Amino acid sequence: MSAGNGVLLKLDGVTKVFYTDELETHALSNINLEIRENEYLAIAGPSGCGKSTLLSILGLLDTPTEGSYTLAGRAVASLSGGQRAAVRNQQVGFIFQAFNLIGDLTVYENVELPLTYRRVPGNERRDRVCAALERVGMEHRTKHYPSQLSGGQQQRVAVARAIAGRPVILLADEPTGNLDSKNGELVMELLSELHRDGATVCVVTHDPRYAENAERTVHLFDGEIVKEENGRGARLLEEHGFSIGHK
Amino acid sequence: MTSFFQDFRYSLRTLGKNPGVTLIAVVALTLGIGLTTTMFSIVYGALYRGLPFEAADRIMHLERNNLEQDIESMAVTIHDYLDWREQQTSFTALAGFWSGTVNLSGTEGRAERYQGAFMTGNAFEILRVRPQLGRVFGPDDDHPGAPAVAVIGYGIWRNRFDSDPGIVGRTVRLNGEPTTVVGVMPAGFAFPTKEDIWVPMRVDADTIARGEGITLEVYGRLKDGVTQDRAAAELATIAGRLEMEYPKTNEGVGSIMKPYTEEFIGDEAARLLLTMLAAVSLVLLIACANVANLLLARAIQRSKEVAVRSALGATRLRVVMQFLTETFVITLIGAALGLAVAWIGVRLFNNAIVDTQPPFWIDIRIDAIAVAFVIGLTLLATALAGVLPALRASGADFNEVLKDESRGSSSLRIGKLSKTLVTLEIALSCGLLVGAGLMVKSVVQLRTLDYGFHTDVLTARVGLFPADYPDRGRRTQFFEELRTRLAAQPGVVGAALGTGLPGLWSGGTRFAVDGESYPDDTDYPRARWAAITPGYFDTFGAAISQGRDFAVQDIDGNLPVVIVNESFTRRFYAGESPLGRRIRTGTSDSENDWMTIVGVVPDMLMGGIDDDDPEGMYVPVAQSDVRFMSIIVRTRGEPMALVPVLRSEVIAIDPDLPLYLIDTLDTRIQRANWFYNVFGALFMVFGGAALFLAGVGLYGVMSFSVTRRTQEVGIRMALGAQNRDVVGLIMKQGLWQLGIGLLVGLGIAALLSRGLEVVLFQVEPFDPVIFMLIAGVLLVVGLAASFIPARRATRVDPVVALRYE
């Protein structure tokens, strides 16, 4: 799955410019970033620094203006819309700040949705949905609608939806932004558990407490990476004799 | 009231800020209200405005029936009329009339033919009308031997006599008889239906055997306090008494009474008009559903505004009133424009029927009643289109709405109510479009009908009256001389005369086939009957299939002969050659001669284009006693170019003889069947409007749905949905509505088509091709209306959509 040396994802000189009328806004400038398999990366920075834009590019929701992007060994920066949709569906799991569950679908149907787009057979779909919901502790709420759940529960369902497709990377955009601190901690703990179980996780957050959970934190400011540091997760790993390798 | 004006001002501002929504809503209501008001004005003018006389709803029409002989209605014999008049106590009086040709000639211009009424002396008194000049008839004017007098219409007085104030007392010739003009009726008066001149009937009942002679249309004015039921019961009693007294002539004869105008509109026409009104009401319903949907969508968009208002203390009623005021403003604009549409529609309709000479009291116009109707429609449409959105907008939990942004799920699908409304629109449109399709097919069938004979022939009508043509010989001589003169004209291919014209109408008669026996008079078969001159079939280009045409030797004193058509041969001779066989007109007491069949001709639509009983026979004019004939001339060039020649040839024989109904046969057939064209066009307008509104409605709802589902689409795309998945998602919603709408719509169409049966020509009410075609058209329109927003949905940028609120 990786491109070699355990690198799952690589951005090379990525720039993103938004054009509005005659105004050019450089959202990202010359971003070079690698994420290794089973790494837990946090992208931090103040509001408007380009965190979400970077995550959108990582999740193939958006395309870079310049630069290259390799995901699991495949150059994906210039794929067509349909090809990007397929990559998103099979290799990326999204967790949004606003949960983004579909209100008219039940919990079960929401989690099933990406598998439906992948044309996964019915039996397998059912098994994977149940497993994902069990993983986040929401198996007892399959027939509920999102409006019948608390914010924390909704975000757990969103996590289940993200992992049901067994993506190569989980991308979480401010996953605690709409939650109280208790539920926020529960969700971050869930992401840590998923990471410990082998998932590659990339979280955008402006909350230093949650960035601490990651092995590595990339700090963005005005669209540029200004600092990288190891988080508590990395220190914990190092304390246990593991080494963290990154650019 | 202050709050109403506040709401009114706010509504104008809000509507101005949403010009697209406002425009669609106004167009929808303009069409709905405009077309409904047009049809209402037609229905009201034709069925309910009534006679323009004092207390005209008390004027009743009386006739007879004989259900034992399956006769639902028949005119009243002179003796029955006299007995009814004598014995009844429910009416102020009873009067009678028959309508017919009145030839007016004199020194003031060429002879002209008018539609006249031959009336009893009390006819005007019952109507309570006064003449513009002179007097109307008195009780002595209809006595046998009374001096010949006439009352003329305003049009004749103005056009023929240059509004001569000294017209009263002047003598003119009516049907060859010197007659004194005693009065002039005011403009617009054309009683009984569309008459221009009135003459006392002067019939001596004593010289006529009971049950024979002329028959009358009878009418009377109910006395004050007498109900219709009571009068009808009394008439039934009198009819029963006459049956006992005169069993030979009155056995089984009953009486029928109904409001006067109902008799001349007819049940079928009334049913058709009411069906049309019901149909156009569907257009209004569709328009209201459309507007309701648009307003529902806006209500959802404005839920936050309403929540804020509620949080600030607005009561639900206040919010409802605000939304209703907005609907009222839209409806008011639609009503004003709809009134203009109705004004144009009524003008177009009146122009379309001007040649059909409808009864004089049919007065179709936009008047105070139409305006009152529009006001009623405005309030109704406001309620229909506005109440649901107002209740929906005001019924939301404002607390939930205000905190909605903190929630993370997207519950953005368009509501069941909107979907139901669109489904209803599709269903109603389907019904209307099937009606329109059936009508259009009728018109096409009529225009492409293969008559089997020439219709591009010149026709005219002429009538000979006893004063100048007292015997058969004189009349036959006139007809034969005219035919010979016309046939000799350059450019004429053929000329003939006949009592009836193919494709229009011919009379009918009972008859006996030689060798058959008939137990009862009602067992004698019926067939169409026409007296014709030699050359009739040749002039129409119809070939004789067997035997021969009539010849000049087929006159009185020679062998009585008859030609029958192919349907006649099939039915009465099982398809074998009938040549040499004999038939006789009349029933058991007939004293007519047996006629020998000498020829067989193709069927020529003797009973009109939609004739269910095509069997017919033709007899030679020279062996018949007829006074009114149609002239037929086939020319090499333009038929109407021969009119001056035709006139001059008639004048050359008799300068006092007017020609009337001068036109080509084709034009006369088209005119006789005007309702196919007029009602077909009306239905096409209704169907077109319905299709437009349903298309716009479906597009609007789907478009709004896509807008509301932008975030959902973004989520789905983020999760890997391909374009086809998104298109499928959106179109599936549209297809459900289309499918259900079409199913219900075909049911509505089945009901509607039954009401239209009377104006369908050679088209089955359940024509499967039309039903399927319309379903197909709606499907295509519906799919297009769904596909455009669905395509738009695929262009959603997931990054933007996920930030969408």
User: In whole angstroms, what is the distance from residue A231 CA to residue B429 CA?
Assistant: 66
Tell me how far apart the alpha carbons of residues B121 and B141 are, in angstroms, rounded to a whole number. 6
Most A-contacting residue of B414, B713, B715 (CB-CB within 10 A), to test interface: B715
- Closest in A86, A97, A154 to B720, CB measured: A86
Is residue B770 within 8 A of residue B441, CB to CB? The reply is yes
Q: CA angle at residue A149 from A147 to A151, to 5 degrees?
A: 100
Q: Residue B399 — φ and ψ, nearest 5°?
A: -65, -45
d(CA B372, CA A126): 64
Is the pLDDT confidence value at B311 over 50? yes
Q: Is A177 in CB contact (< 8 Å) with chain B?
A: no
Write out the DSSP string of B707-734: HHTHHHHHHHHHTT--HHHHHHHHHHHH
A80 lies within 8 A of chain B by CB? no
On the question of pLDDT at B89 being above 70, the answer is yes
Any idea which of A101-105, A224-228, B649-653 has the lowest mean pLDDT?
A101-105
pLDDT, averaged across chain B: 88
Rounded CA separation B409/A150 (Å): 11
| DSSP-derived secondary structure for A139-167 | GGGTT--GGGS-HHHHHHHHHHHHHHT--
Please state, in angstroms and rounded to a whole number, the distance separating the CA atoms of residues B162 and B738.
65
User: Among all chains, which residue has been given the structure tokens 């000979």?
Assistant: B464
**Is pLDDT above 50 for A12?**
yes
Percentage of chain B beyond pLDDT 90 is: 53
The answer, yes or no, to whether residue B407 has pLDDT greater than 70, is no
Handedness of CA B692, B695, B698, B699 (dihedral sign): negative
- Which one of A56, A81, A114 has the shortest CB-CB distance to B799? A56
Separation in Å, CA of A87 to nearest CA in chain B: 7
Distances, alpha carbon B350 to alpha carbons A10, A84, B272, B274, in Å: 80, 65, 17, 18
To which residue do tokens 């993103």 refer? Answer: A16
Whether residues B719 and A161 touch (CB distance < 8 A) is answered with yes
Please give the angle made by the CA atoms of B771, B777 and B780, to the nearest 5 degrees.
140
Q: What is the pLDDT of residue A179?
A: 82
Whether the Cβ atoms of residue B193 and residue B99 lie closer than 8 Å to each other: yes
For residue B248, with 0-12 CB atoms within 10 Å meaning exposed, 13-18 middle and 19 or more buried, which class applies? Answer: exposed
Give the three-state DSSP class for A210: helix
Query: Is B466 a residue whose pLDDT tops 90?
Result: no
User: Do B197 and B150 form a contact (C-beta atoms < 8 A)?
Assistant: yes
pLDDT average, residue stretch B207-212: 88
Containing B784, the helix (H) or strand (E) segment is helix B768-794
Test B719 with A113 for CB contact under 8 angstroms: yes
Contacts of A85 in chain B (CB under 8 A): 717, 720-722
Higher-scoring residue by pLDDT: B614, B402 = B614
Q: Is A242 left (phi over 0), alpha (psi -120 to 50) or beta?
A: beta
Query: Which stretch, B140-149, B262-271, B438-447, has highest mean pLDDT?
Result: B140-149
Q: What are chain A's domains?
A: 38-61+79-239 (3.40.50.300)
Name residue A64's amino acid.
P
* Runs of H (alpha helix) within B302-415: 303-311, 316-353, 368-395, 398-402
State the distance between the two ends of chain B, measured CA to CA, in whole angstroms. 37
Identify the weakest region by mean pLDDT among B123-127, B338-342, B383-387: B383-387
What ipTM was reported for this prediction? 0.76
- How far is the alpha carbon of B411 from chain A, nearest alpha carbon, in Å? 4
For B119-152, how does the pLDDT look when each residue is reduced to its tens digit (9 = 90+)? 999 999 999 999 999 999 998 999 998 999 999 9
Residue B632's pLDDT is 97
Q: In angstroms, rounded to a whole number, what is the distance separating the alpha carbons of residues B329 and B338?
A: 14
Position B32 scores a pLDDT of: 93
pLDDT tens digit sequence for A181-221: 888 888 888 888 889 888 899 999 888 888 888 889 999 99
The dihedrals phi and psi of B787, each to the nearest 5 degrees, come to -70, -40
What pLDDT, on the 0 to 100 scale, is given for residue A30? 92
Which one of B409, B723, B799 has the shortest CB-CB distance to A82?
Answer: B723
The pLDDT, as a whole number, for residue B211 is 85
Q: How confident is the model at residue B402 (pLDDT cuts 50, 70, 90)?
A: low
Q: Show the 3-state SS of A31-46.
A: EEEEEECCCEEEEECC
Query: What burial letters (b/e) apply to A25-42, b meaning 16+ CB within 10 Å?
Result: eebbbebebbbbbbbbbb
- Interatomic CA distance for residues B243 and B141, integer angstroms: 31
From residue B260, give the alpha-carbon distance in Å to each of B58, B214, B219, B361: 9, 21, 7, 11
Query: How far is residue B567 from each of residues B533, B602, B610, B617, measured CA to CA in Å?
Result: 22, 8, 15, 10
Whether B76 and B62 have beta carbons less than 8 Å apart is answered as yes
Hey, is the C-beta of B717 within 8 angstroms of any chain A C-beta? yes
B138 bridge partner residues: none
The reply to whether B727 touches chain A by the CB within 8 Å rule is: no
Structure tokens at A56: 């959108």
pLDDT, greater one: B705 or B501: B501
Cα–Cα distances in angstroms (integers) from residue B234 to residues B87, B134, B257, in the given order: 9, 37, 11
Query: In the prediction, which pLDDT does B442 show?
Result: 86
Q: Inform me whether the C-beta atom of residue B637 falls under 8 Å from chain A C-beta atoms.
A: no
pLDDT band at B219, cuts 50/70/90? Answer: very high
Task: Using alpha carbons, select from B188, B93, B198, B194 the residue that is nearest to residue B142.
Answer: B198
Contact B239, B67 (CB under 8 A): no
Per-residue confidence (pLDDT) for residue B746, from 0 to 100: 92
Higher pLDDT, B220 or B520: B220
Distance from CA of A151 to the nearest CA of B (A): 7
Nearest CA to B339 out of B10, B699, B33, B595 is that of B33
In this predicted structure, the answer to whether residue B500 has a pLDDT above a threshold of 70 is yes
Whether the CB-CB separation of B759 and B679 falls below 8 Å is answered with yes
Q: Report, as an integer, the average pLDDT of B385-396.
A: 82
- A174 or B14: which leads in pLDDT: A174
Q: How many CB pairs under 8 A join A and B?
A: 86
DSSP annotation string for B29-74: HHHHHHHHHHHHHHHIIIIIS--SSTTGGGEEEEEEEEGGGTEEEE
Q: pLDDT at position A234, please? A: 54
Predicted pLDDT of residue B214? 86
- With 60 as the cut, is the pLDDT of residue B408 above it? no
Two structure tokens written together for B321:
């009133």
Q: Is the dihedral of CA B379, B385, B388, B392 positive or negative?
A: negative
Residues 6 or more apart in contact with residue A168 via CB below 8 angstroms: A1, A8, A37, A71, A72, A91, A92, A200
Q: What radius of gyration do chain A's Cα atoms show?
A: 18
pLDDT band at B332 (very low <50, low <70, confident <90, very high): very high
Residue in chain A closest to B411 (alpha carbons) equals A103
- pLDDT confidence of B2, banded at 50, 70, 90? low
**What confidence score (pLDDT) does residue B805 get?**
44
Give the model's pLDDT for residue B321.
Answer: 87
Check pLDDT > 80 for residue A240.
no
Residue A115, classed as helix, strand or coil, is helix
pLDDT score recorded for residue B676: 81
Q: Say which amino acid occupies B699.
A: Y
Does A154 contact B406 at a Cβ distance shorter than 8 Å? no
Tens digits of residue pLDDT in A94-122:
898 888 888 878 999 999 988 988 888 98
Residue of chain B nearest A53, judged by CA positions: B799
Instruction: Quick: pLDDT tens for A37-48.
Output: 999 999 998 888
Task: Report the chain B residue with the minimal C-alpha distance to residue A176.
Answer: B408
> Which amino acid is located at B591 in the chain?
E
| Beta carbons of B408 and A117 less than 8 Å apart | no
Could you give the CA distance from residue B408 to residue B391 in angstroms, rounded to a whole number? 26
Say yes or no for a CB contact (<8 Å) between B716 and A113: yes
pLDDT at residue number B753: 87
Q: How far is B350 from chain A (nearest CA, A)?
A: 55
Q: Does A62 touch chain B (CB under 8 A)?
A: yes
Predicted pLDDT at B240? 95
CB neighbours (10 Å) of residue A47?
A: 7
State yes or no: pLDDT of B294 exceeds 70: yes
User: Which tokens go with A200?
Assistant: 């590659």
Length in residues, chain A? 247
Average pLDDT, chain A: 85
**Model confidence at A246, in pLDDT bands (50, 70, 90)?**
very low
pLDDT for res A247: 35
Among the partner residues B408, B721, B799, nearest to A61 by beta-carbon distance:
B799
